[in-house]
Every structure is written in structure tokens, then in C-alpha cells.
Structure 1
Amino acid sequence: MKGFRPVSVRSPLAFTAALLVCTVLVSCQSQPPPVHRFPGYPVGFHERGVASWYGPGFHGNKTANGEQYDMHKLTAAHRTLPLGSIAVVRSVSTGRQVTVRINDRGPFAKGRVLDLSLAGAEAIGMTGNGTDQIELQVIGYQARPEGMGVLRIQVGAFADPLNARGLFEQVGAQYPGGRVVQVELPEGRRYRVQVGQFLTEADAQTASSRLDAQHHIQSFVVRDDN
């Protein structure tokens, strides 16, 4: 090997030093490459709360990541977890669990943390009650080229676009970068009012609590689809 200088084995000290160097080199070469996780992504994220499920009324609709919603696949909707998240969901009442992929946004109801597909709900035995107390833990992530998207605060949703615009003008000035999003739902067209742009959930949750106190609303944090 070019540049290699043999060490005489007649010196015990030199032999020991050479053996140590070789051991370190071999050890370093055999180590696996470092794992680089998506910046800021909460693998290991844990959450507990109420889950619901959505099925026939949404079957075939476009999900937030562009897929066609299939209620017979193990997927779920979450308001802030990056699309492509893989999560284990355990029912507190039945003890059953299921692994799902986050491919949609929701639930858009205060006090709920997750919307399971019909298949996911059946797997943990919650279709009869419609809702259940669950524990969720993120175990992986299938990265998307678009990234995770920024966080916003949803302050309201309306059937009348004038009402949506009115609230946006009232609240939006306080947190720039907001928008009114038009969505098509089984119950009809809705206009969601979202304000601000945040990089961390802590900042977004703080702002959400402040808005609730100032304007007597029930807001919650959502993440952009891209």
C-alpha cells in the first residue's frame, strides 16, 4: 500500500501501538453510515386524544397529498404531522393497535387529534362508537420532495365566503401570511380561514391560544400540504 511504513515487531510497545491503530481503523470502516433524519421531523412524536374516522362520504375524494382516498386502506388524517408519517395507533379502550400512514389533513373538529380510515377504525374496533381515546406514536417517515410545509392557525370555516373574508380581515392583520382556502366537502363547499406562518408547533400553539382569548374563538393548528 502506498505510503504504508511497516513497524518492527521487535518493539513490544510499537507492536501494541500498531495493533491499536489497526483496530481503530477497522472499527471505523465497519461502522454504518450516519442516519440523517428529515430536519425538524418528530420521529418518536407521541400524542394522546380522541380519534374519529371517515368513510363513505369521502371515499374516492382527493387527499391532501394528491392520492385518491380509499377507506379500505390503512391511512389517516392529522392536522400537523408531515404527510408521509408512519404512526402506530393504539385504542385505549380495546388495547388493539394498527399502523397507518398519514396522507390527509383533519380532523377539523376541536378536541380531536386523528381521523382514521374505515379500515384503520375497524382494526382497533372503534367503528361502533364513532370515536375512541387513542395513543399515537410516529415510527417513521416517507419523505416527500415538497417537504413538510409551514404551520398555520385555522380560526374558522364558513359556507359563506363573505363571512370567511370578514374574519380573515379581522384576524389576519395580527398574523400575516394567512389565506382563505376553498374546500369541497360532502356537506358542501366550505371556506377555511387560516392565518400566520410558523416553523414550530410551540410558536403556533402559543399564537392559537392568544387568538382564542382575544377573539373568543376555538382555533387549532394545521400544516400546509406542501
Structure 2
Amino acid sequence: MTTRLIKGAVVLALMSLLAACASAGRGDAPFGGAGSLPVVNDPAPIVSGTMRPYQVRGRWYQPVEDTDYDVVGMASWYGDQFNGRPTATGEIFDMYAMTAAHKTLPLPGLVEVTNTANGRRAILRVNDRGPFVDGRVIDLSRGAAEALGLLSQGVGEVRVRYVGRAPRLGGGARQLQAAAAPVETGAYWVQAGAFSDRRAARRIAGRLGDRATVDVAEAGRGRLYRVLVGPWSDANSAEQARQAVVARGFADALLISSR
């Protein structure tokens, strides 16, 4: 494919994506636009029992509401083994929700977590204790790890900032979201599909391998879950990947450029 044809395909892909976003259904975004910090007008009470000193593996921890908490360290994630079980707050752990576990911050609370490697950010509801592994500052749900780009590697460096008290329900949201551009600039991506159901998008991403991620596109007051594969630094490689995705059964796969 010539460069002119590739550029044409990119333009058509972006136009198709914008049209899809404009017709997307209503979503369940808990806060305002991308990048906004939450304003909690009716915070949930801190679960008093979770603020007592406690001991794990011979080490004592003293929970405290530290409004200046701003720490860089390693994050891990947990999923299937704990899915459906009660957290320290009594809430049921949903591995696909935007939640996290922390050793000392108030429960439930909100933190802003930034993946230092790719700049992705998310607001997470902290409703559990952990991780009790040296050098790790936070444990992410599977959904949070996926949003931050840490799912495949398992452990990665993050910056954790305490935002404040959590609302009575929910409170987790991506901050770095793409409206009509991929999650990473200066690259080419293949969009395998866009879905209103995030679980369907995750199943598709799982079929397409480690380079596939689920990105959220805001469309008015709704959301569209896009399965993106990549990135690639040049259009030729991306087009070859698009053809491979088409061969996997996704005939409408699009080539997207963020240049």
C-alpha cells in the first residue's frame, strides 16, 4: 500500500470513529470529562475498624488519613483469586471495577494513580488492605491494571496521590481518556472494534494477545470501549498488523494514526 493510500485509510478510520462516538449510547461515567478530579459531595464514612493498627507477617501498620500522601513505588494487581470476596470495607471485590488496595490510607478513599512509563492516569476507589510485599505501594484490580497498561507485565512503577474521601458508591474512573485519538501519541494503532459493553471488549482483547488493550472513548455522556492493538512506529507495520487482525475475523479493523 502506498503512503498516499495509507494516509487516506487513516483519515477514513478517524472519520468512522468520530461517527461511532457520536452515536454511542449513554454510559456510567461517575465524574466529568477526561482528566477531571472528582468532587465528592456526599462522602462515605470511613470504616472505623479499618483505621486501627494491625499486624501482618510480623510487621505493624498504622492507617492514617494523610492528605499530602504522594508516593512513587511499585504496583501489582490481583483478580480471579479474590473476585467476589469481601474487601476490608465489606464491599464485594469486582476485579473489573476501578479499585485498589492500600496498606494505610483511609477506607474507602480515592487515589490518583499514574503509570510513570506511559503517563496513563486513573482515579481508583481504595476499599481493601494490601499489598503486603516489600517495595509495593498499591495493589490494583484487574480493571485498574488494564486501564493503566500494567496488565500484561504484572508489576510496574506508579505514582500514587491521595485525593480524599470516596463517594458512597463507585468513584473509579480513567483520567487519561481518548476521544478520537489513540492512548499514545506519535504512533499507529489498529482498532479491531468498538463496543458499548466493556466485558465484550475485554474478551476480544484477550483473543488478540498481549498487544491488545481496551481504551475508553468519551462520546457525549456515554462511553465506547475500543479494542486497540499496537502501537507501531510506522504505517507499513501497522497496516500489516491490521491485515492480520482482519484475518482473525475482524473485517472492520481500522488503521488509526495519532500523529
Bigger Rg, which one: 1
Question: Is the TM-score greater than 0.5?
Answer: no
Q: TM-score, normalised by structure 1?
A: 0.45
**Which of 1 and 2 has higher RCO (CA within 8 Å, sep 6+)?**
2
